[in-house]
Amino acid sequence: MTEHPQLYLEDFEELADVAPEHVQLECVDGQLRTKHPLSVEDFEELERRAPETVRLEYVNGKLEVKAMADGNHSCIFMWLLRQCLQQRPDLNLYPGSGIKTEAYRRGRARVDGTLAPRLHFKGHGEWSAPDGLLMAVEITSRDPATNGRARVDKPIGYAEADIPVYLLIDRDNSTTIVYSEPKDGRYQQALPRSWGATVELPFPVTIALNTEKLKDYAD
């Protein structure tokens, strides 16, 4: 497996040039860090100024860079999109939405996919409240830091935001994990299934995924 750096030097330099004056950035082994604690307000200002090549998140009080999607990542998203539209034509699977997460909505996640009613995001700004979302979806990328967030931090952040279902499509382990029943900041259920199995997404999603096709995107 090839591990890609989180942030290339030229992207870091461009980001550092546009950062608010009191936000001091560091880049260590391709990982983006801040010298001092970052408030969510400072994060939003930094994210607004960031170059198009850099996608930022604010997860568990830390500034993070979200890896760009590769070809298989995009194919997996489209596979999921088709199944959702076929079974729930009343809903849309929105790519790359900015969602307020975690306790008191102090996190900012750039979600791979959010399942919600049609026109749900009409009139919303850059970061939307989680109210009305049925499911959050993350597809792991070939980046160890991104994978750690998807498996550890984001299940907590999405549960604290009371998103009913979190679907993790884990490319490293060729599994899907369905998290459901958020309560007291944790999902009470976490059901892993190997690719090839039928995956039941519970209420309020109520979709059955045939994951056999995912085997084509194992790499």
| 42 and 55 share one domain | yes
202-206-212 Cα angle (round to 5): 90
Whether residues 144 and 89 fall in one domain? yes
Report, as an integer, the average pLDDT of 38-59: 94
Classified as helix, coil or strand, 160 is helix
Last residue of a domain, one of 66, 85, 114: 66
User: What per-residue confidence (pLDDT) applies to 1?
Assistant: 34
Domain that holds residue 33: 9-66
Per-residue pLDDT at 188 exceeds 90: yes
Total of domains in the chain = 2
Whole-structure pTM value: 0.93
| DSSP annotation string for 36-63 | S---HHHHHHHHHHS-TT-EEEEETTEE
The pLDDT value recorded for residue 144 is 67
Which one, of 17, 205, 219, 18, lies nearest residue 117 by Cα? 205
Gyration radius from the chain CA atoms: 17
pLDDT tens-place string over residues 110-149? 999 999 999 999 999 999 999 999 999 999 987 766 667 8
Q: Does residue 30 carry a pLDDT above 80?
A: no
Confirm whether 125 is domain-assigned: yes
Q: Same structural domain for residues 57 and 89?
A: no
Block residue for tokens 């369905």? 178
pLDDT band at 167 (very low <50, low <70, confident <90, very high): very high
The overall average pLDDT reported for the chain is: 92
Q: What is the CATH number of the domain that holds 182?
A: 3.90.1570.10
Q: Which helix (H) or strand (E) holds 191?
A: strand 186-194
Peptide bond into 192 cis (omega under 30): no
Residue 111: partners with Cβ closer than 8 Å, 6 or more residues away: 96, 97, 98, 99, 136, 137, 138
